[in-house]
Chain A
């Protein structure tokens, strides 16, 4: 109780620090900057914070904190715009939001989806902060109780959400998740450094694929291409129903779901090493499992938005615990944050174990600045959501080129290689076919996101467990089956059992018609072929690097087995069976006036042109020809829109100090920025 006695004065000190006009001013400034940066999918907090770093040196600590926190806090809020309106997951925090948010936008309920999401975010942020105020005092032993077996079990719990999202044919969902896991193992292994499906001759692959690229490729590109082919607005019929008040009402009607998901967010966020990758999927799964009528999930169920959005802001608060108490950043932006805090003032704030003893007031200021920034950011976002939602009524052909521009730029920022664009295109292609043949894209993405944690924690937990077992059987069992692990196992089993029962009613891709055998069979063979090749490749790793090959072998073997069973089923079942789902047979895609390849060729053209003349020049050509030829716009309109696009790109990239992909031309001639 002694700790609580010191906590109260510290809390009031913190509020005294925060509630100064100048501090609040800096906070709002940070929030506005964060919102501006947040519209770029895939850049988010890291880009914004790096921009602020030069000003942090010697700055008054509380002002610097207000500015930085304002900026970081709103990114998981503002990236909701992209995920709901365009189906573009801006960060791992908004992947699950896409599943139901984007279908709502397509139904013309964008404003409702956005305000429900923002209200949930706000609430989640506040629940997170309140919880942390007490929890941060007692968090240390609890955080330390989460060892490797516990973290492995949470990762598996996240993975078990595949059961809920597997789609109509569970085997397809499993195979999709397996493929995601396998794609996640590409590159240099963490443990022994062996190369999987990569070569030192292609240095790009040794680092593996980045989440931003896979997220954009799997979710954004298929949707953009599909809408572009249909040549309509995002909201069908270009009508907007459901205003922003409806969304707030929706949230209030589901307030208990919001509370539960917020708590899931804080708790998982607190555990270092997991970060945000699993939280929104666990929350989404929870939302599905606690909803009586599940038939609307994947087609625009508002609870599917409220769940993940409540958890993702709460998670930011939870993520402060490992950051502040242990000095271990839970995310990339938190890592920069730690570095920046050291630059503040005369360097007196030291993030780490001493934070609670020496700087409890600062700790509380950080927690509540985060909550306050959430409030400010959310109010601004809700105010803007009605207007921004109108974007969904614009003819999509006018939006698509800008979206291609944005996602290409975002992809390039993840690694600053031309290959980033190629990877985006390739993963986009995979995404398009997963969507077409009704293989669960969420399952694929969950697999990819959790690939590295699954492999890492399995290997490490196994190594330490065998070390303990060598000391004694009992010690080993105590380590592997701690009470937390047992509880997590029970939750996982229950969730899988419930999930399998419910999976059939959740159709993330909507109701897909079935057609002939040939196309789905070819796609299955391609996947099985890749898996076989990856298996052979993994098997070539020498045995002393068992840690690098065991997971690809097991997962790859399992996925291949799923594919083989599917193959047998496909051979036996008649045409028209749901296993042969194919969007090109009937429905929106099949009736679309434009073909897949001619539409995709536009994007391919942008990438090829970038290879030759660099991004900005290629973009000028792309925008002009697209608006003229594809959209049939007048020359005046074309030039105005092109100028807007290029201007916006240069403004943002210039302000954030970012480069564009160079081409062969730039290799030969020195050109001034932004052409270089």
Chain B
């Protein structure tokens, strides 16, 4: 299976990059303890699903099989929960925090509400997803692997907001020279797909699980034409085809084939930086600042054991998607790639958001 190959390569790559040996099992015991896994979103979002999937598995693998409960602390686009976590100093491993692309983007964009600092925290697990963009049947007929035939068409797209994960597709389409008008204010990608199905939106994108669950049926029925994936990262940090969709070209390929679209330079670097922060390293689990190395090692070992379950590929693919799960130091490395965005890239995106959508982030 290409997926496991890919994930193995990626994990090994990141492990080597961090120069890490497998952590020794430490003398930490959680018998009778309750571990709170705080999610800065409501009970209803994707992060909730992610944490609820991992929580019982993690509880089984931690020494002393503690109870792991998922707690929700939504507010201010997840910055409330992250700001709260920044203040916490329980270094005994009874507090875990889950962040998502929606927590990473405000941090990268210098949102005034951000009072947290990723580099203070200890990442123990990271996982990602992919995304697929698709067109309606009529316009899809004009798509030939490049966006050259799409430049004179006005598209409409149901969007959650330009500063969210939607930044990645909107910037990609813009770079391809396409004219995509976002209709803001929808509540989730499911609503976006519904808008597409009703014919109100003419272009859409879904994350991997959303695409597999709802949009493949549209493709089969001839109502949608897949355009491109965002791709995935290989061990060297290059964008390669998404292992879940090996037959769909990546944005990089489409960009190369399209006149006027460059896979280098300011715009490309900015897009890639935000893509990495939003997709391959979308969700991270953290221990608070000041946690002892023993506790970090214990968690690393536990997450390693979760990922090493013989049935992990099977149970995870249906619930959180078939993407690599990074643990321990490789999670920390993943965090580095997701949050160390060059200043020029940030400046480019901030400026683009202002010019294209009038968004000012202060």
Residues of chain A having any CB pair with chain B under 8 Å:
46, 49-50, 53-54, 57, 144, 146-148, 188-193, 200, 203-204, 206-207, 272-273, 326-329, 332, 335-336, 339-340, 342-343, 346-348, 350-354, 415-417, 456, 459-460, 463-464, 467, 470, 542, 544-545, 547, 657
Contacts and interface: CB of A to CB of B under 8 A. Distances in A.
Contact of A192 (B49, B184, B200, B315): B184
24 contacts: A49-B43, A50-B43, A57-B57, A144-B194, A192-B184, A192-B359, A193-B161, A203-B75, A206-B76, A207-B76, A326-B193, A326-B214, A329-B190, A332-B44, A336-B48, A340-B52, A342-B49, A342-B319, A347-B315, A415-B75, A456-B185, A464-B183, A547-B184, A547-B185
A657 B113 CA distance: 28
Given A335-B44, A460-B183, A657-B69, A54 B56 contact: yes
A147 B198 CA distance: 7
A417 B74 CA distance: 10
B358 A53 contact: no
Contacts of B186: 460
B197 interface: yes
Closest 10 CB pairs of A and B: A335-B44, A347-B318, A544-B358, A190-B185, A191-B184, A328-B190, A339-B49, A191-B185, A352-B213, A353-B217
A350 B76 contact: no
Question: Of residues A146, A147, A336, A464, which shows the largest number of chain B Cβ atoms within 10 Å of its Cβ?
Answer: A464
B318 A342 contact: yes
A147 B57 CA distance: 42
A327 B211 CA distance: 12
Nearest to A332: B44
A416 B36 CA distance: 16
A190 B213 contact: no
B112 A200 contact: yes
A617 to B, nearest CB: 22
B185 A545 contact: no
Given A203-B75, A467-B181, A339 B48 contact: yes
Interface string B195-232: 10111100000000000011001000000000000000
B53 A464 contact: no
A237 to B, nearest CB: 44
Contacts of A335: 43-45
Interface string B284-319: 000000000000000000000000000000110011
Given A342-B319, A348-B318, 6 more contacts: A46-B43, A272-B194, A327-B190, A336-B43, A347-B318, A354-B213
A353 B219 CA distance: 13
Given A206-B76, A467-B156, A339 B52 contact: yes
Given A207-B75, A336-B48, A327 B156 contact: no
A567 to B, nearest CB: 35
B102 interface: no
A417 B80 CA distance: 10
Contacts of B352: none
B331 to A, nearest CB: 23
A206 B358 CA distance: 19
Contacts of A542: 358
Contacts of B76: 203, 206-207
B144 interface: no
B349 interface: no
A147 B319 CA distance: 30
B16 interface: no
B153 to A, nearest CB: 11
B217 A354 contact: yes
B164 to A, nearest CB: 10
Contact of B191 (A207, A273, A346, A545): A273
Q: Which of A189, A193, A203, A416 has the most CB of B within 10 A?
A: A193
Interface in B312-362: 314-315, 318-319, 357-359
Contact of A336 (B44, B112, B359): B44
B126 interface: no
B357 A192 contact: yes
Nearest to A322: B194
A544 B161 CA distance: 15
Contact of A459 (B52, B56, B185, B198): B185
A463 B113 contact: no
Interface in B44-84: 44-45, 48-49, 52-53, 55-57, 69-77, 79-80
Q: Quick one: which of B43, B72, B181 has the most chain A CB within 10 A?
A: B43
A188 B45 CA distance: 19
A54 B69 contact: yes
A190 B190 contact: no
A347 B56 CA distance: 15
A144 B198 contact: yes
A203 B113 contact: yes
Interface of B: 42-45, 48-49, 52-53, 55-57, 69-77, 79-80, 112-113, 154, 156, 161, 163, 181, 183-186, 188, 190-191, 193-195, 197-200, 213-214, 217, 314-315, 318-319, 357-359
A146 B112 CA distance: 39
Nearest to A352: B213
Contacts of A54: 52, 55-56, 69
Given A193-B359, A326-B194, A327-B190, A148 B43 contact: no
A280 B185 CA distance: 25
Contacts of A470: 154
B165 to A, nearest CB: 15
Nearest to B201: A464
Contacts of A545: 358
A404 B43 CA distance: 26
B166 to A, nearest CB: 12
A297 B318 CA distance: 52
Contacts of B197: 144
Contacts of A351: 213
Contacts of A46: 43-44
A352 B52 CA distance: 20
A315 B11 CA distance: 48
Contact of B163 (A193, A203, A463, A657): A193
Contact of B52 (A328, A343, A460, A657): A343
B195 to A, nearest CB: 8
A524 B348 CA distance: 49
Given A191-B184, A191-B185, A544-B358, A464 B318 contact: no
A350 B217 CA distance: 13
Contact of A147 (B44, B112, B200): B200
Contacts of B77: 188
A61 B52 CA distance: 17
A53 B44 contact: no
Nearest to A415: B75
Contacts of B156: 463-464, 467
Contacts of B43: 46, 49-50, 332, 335-336
A657 B200 contact: no
Contacts of A416: 73, 75
Nearest to A417: B75
B70 A53 contact: yes
Nearest to B181: A467
Nearest to A334: B44
Which of A188, A459, A463 counts the most B-chain CB atoms under 10 A from its CB? A463
Contacts of A467: 154, 156, 181
Given A200-B112, A346-B315, A57 B80 contact: no
Nearest to B202: A467
Contacts of B199: 147
Contacts of A346: 314-315, 318
A357 B305 CA distance: 37
Contact of B80 (A190, A203, A329, A353): A203
Contacts of A328: 188, 190-191, 194
A662 to B, nearest CB: 11
A144 B318 CA distance: 27
A47 to B, nearest CB: 9
A516 to B, nearest CB: 44
